Amino acid sequence: MAETVIRKRIEILTDTALVRRVTAAIDSVGITGWTILPVSAGKGREGLWHEEHVTGTDKSLVLTVASQDRAAALADALAPVLTSHGLLLTMWDVEVIRGDRF
């Protein structure tokens, strides 16, 4: 089996209107890549929600993989908007091949 290393998988659920702000933060801490996925519906503390292009409350999931240090730097960079804009940031350890790319 190919050798693997531990990195952090980071998922950020955000209003689509804030995606550029999130990806700019990812870029600013030196993380080299990200993926944006549309999210059509969900349920949280405040109840059900669904995609709503008219009012601008549609959501996106921003996914990236990074080293522990860069993941921590990203969490720090996004800390001011996590609460004020209702972002959800999760991260956990994953094994990756070609760890030098992250």
Bridge-based pairing of strands 4-15 and 41-44 is unpaired
Question: What are the residues facing 88 on neighbouring strands?
Answer: 13
What DSSP line would sit under 23-37, residue for residue? HHHHHHTT----EEE
Give residue-wise pLDDT tens across range 29-49: 999 999 999 987 777 776 676
CATH of 6-91, one of 1.10.3720.10, 3.60.20.10, 3.30.70.120, 3.40.190.10: 3.30.70.120
Q: For the chain, give the longest Cα–Cα distance.
A: 49
Neighbours of 49 (CB within 10 A): 15
Give residue-wise pLDDT tens across range 51-78: 655 555 688 999 999 999 999 999 999 9
Measured CA to CA, the distance from residue 17 to residue 79 in angstroms comes to 18
Give the per-residue pLDDT at 94: 96
pTM attached to this predicted model? 0.85
- Whose structure tokens read 């702000």? 21
- Are 59 and 14 in contact by the 8 Å Cβ rule? The answer is yes
